[in-house]
Amino acid sequence: MKFHFSKYHGTGNDFIMIDGRSIDTSVLKPQIISNLCDRHFSIGADGVIVLSESENHDFKMTYYNSDGYEGSMCGNGGRCICAFAKKLSVIHSECTFEAIDGLHSASIDKDGLVRLQLGDVNDTSQLKDGYFLNTGSPHFVKFKDSTDEIDVVGEGRIIRNESRFTDGTNVNFVEILASGIKVRTYERGVEDETLSCGTGATAAAIATFLHGRSNGKKIEVSTKGGILSVEFDHLSEDKFSNIYLTGPARNVFDGFFQM
């Protein structure tokens, strides 16, 4: 069986995109997905995303981490699947789609920037060493004077597996900049540092607001793969709504893989 795929990235967070509307994607078992994401012996990616039909909305998004298993919401992946849906003529410039954490809406401007609405954040926890919150995926946010010399993989893996995080967590290291924040992320499921993480950028921006280091409701986030922006409304002490993640989503190349 031959599958067509498109390779996309959102500020360096890269994905293998598959149009699952007319093919049997049940063959995409964890080992197959993991093999496809291998950067040395296959296509290489942080994850695989399948676009499928939705009864009531424009499409459905299913995201698999590079370990082969279905993951929680992926912000950059959500932006990339919108660009992919536009390429497939499933949508024009606006959409509503289903994901594992519920419904999302998005729009694409003339320059290809995708503005994705994420779910509300209704609970945040200030811990002794950082903040813990869920922006579609769980994130622990830790502030650092500088993120340049951090052992993101070493320190991130330790925190990711701490018993206080029941199902594990993504880990974001945040440095305050004059123009916004700089973020480096250890991603659960990828089990490595990624060049960017959309839900992580969002969690970092909200944590920066809670930390008293930003008075604004729109924060520029610098990642190793590029610049994102996060907007939100602060409703009460730990509740946030109208959360938007904006940034580019690029089609890198297309191809086929044989099953």
| Coarse DSSP helix, strand, coil percentages of the chain, rounded to the nearest 5 percent | 15, 45, 35
Does the pLDDT of residue 94 top 80, yes or no?
yes
For position 2, what pLDDT does the model report? 86
The band of 258, judged by pLDDT with boundaries at 50, 70 and 90, is confident
Cβ partners under 8 Å of residue 24, min gap 6:
none
CA atoms within 13 A on the CB side of 60: 11
Q: Exactly one of 80, 82, 95, 197 is catalytic; name it.
A: 197
- Tell me which residue of 79, 74, 7 sits closest to 45, measured CA to CA: 7
pTM surpassing 0.85? yes
pLDDT tens figures, 25-38: 999 999 999 999 99
Say what the pLDDT of residue 168 is.
Answer: 97
Instruction: Name the token pair of 234.
Output: 């602060």
Least confident of 78-92, 170-184, 213-227: 213-227
Residue 197 a catalytic site member? yes
CA dist., res. 145 & res. 70, Å (int): 34
pLDDT at position 9: 98
Domain architecture of the chain: domains with CATH: 2-118+249-258 (3.10.310.10), 124-246 (3.10.310.10)
Considering 74, 80, 82, 95, which one is annotated as catalytic? 74
